[in-house]
Amino acid sequence: MLFASLIIALTIGLTQSRPNDELVSQGRIAGGTVATESQFPHQVGLSIEEENNLFSWCGGSLISEQYVLTAAHCVEEAIAIVYYLGGVQRLAPQQLMKSLDPSIQLHPDWNPKTLENDIALLKLPQPAILSGCIKPIKLPAIASSYASYDYKMATTSGWGRINDVSTAISNELRYVVRYVESNEDCLYTYANVRPTNICMDTTGGQSTCTGDSGGPLTYFDHTQNAEILIGITSYGKKSGCTQGYPSVFTRVTAYLDWIAAVSGVGHSQS
């Protein structure tokens, strides 16, 4: 899942220190399964307007009645945002909100050149009305701050393009379930992976891709008996989403204190 424009895919490419190590911010679920109603009640769609009448599409995660967690690269230039909550069909949400003066908190150390600290908080223009289709997702417990989640099965979801040749984002919410790849293995593909990143295996052509940047990576935590948010879709290989290269996410456990300080949304102790 990569983030994609409502009309034209909006991508950001960087050249890293390794040859051909070009990155692109992500925006689609490639090779995914169509979600069912209420399967991902935390999923938020973001239609983002920038200067010069540019539009893009990103994902986000509802973490409270009033706050959405997403990627900084999605919203750093936003002048207006439409929020889509509680829908599997992209254009048929349970709730729709528009903010012409969006409340955006980028991480203070966000670096658009390296995509480091690719995380942002959005305050909804009014509290979401919670239901079976609209529910906040839990954050990891503070005791999980040093958890790697290596080789655990995790789920990522979004409305991005479904393969490398698609020219439009999906109208249906899709998801893939893959294992978390260790950062050590991920470094073979990306020279700039940091402890604040988490990577997902994409062998078999199932991956995030253009259109779903900012969307969630989740894991079922048996100690909390709940799905928890462990990653935010950040970037992948520019050469394509179905080539088997890992997808890279912002690691949520690295930012629990910042999230709590900005939003008041805390984490459990255990």
**121 phi and psi angles, rounded to 5 deg:** -115, 135
Would you give the distance in Å from CA 63 to the centre of its chain?
13
213 is catalytic: yes
- Examine the residue annotation and report whether 201 is marked as an active-site residue of this protein: no
Name the active-site residue from 5, 64, 73, 166.
Answer: 73
**Tokens of residue 90, six digits:** 């992209």
The strand ranges marked E within the chain are 13-15, 22-25, 28-30, 33-34, 43-50, 54-62, 67-70, 80-85, 95-99, 103-106, 120-123, 153-158, 174-181, 197-200, 207-209, 216-221, 226-237, 247-251
Query: Could you tell me if residue 6 is left (phi over 0), alpha (psi between -120 and 50 degrees) or otherwise beta?
Result: alpha
Which is catalytic among the residues 5, 64, 170, 213? Answer: 213
Q: Choosing from 47, 99, 107, 118, which is the catalytic residue?
A: 118
Judge whether 118 counts as a catalytic residue. Answer: yes
Q: What would the two tokens of residue 242 be?
A: 């179905």
* DSSP character at residue 4: B
Amino acid identity, residue 62? L
Residues known to be catalytic: 73, 118, 213
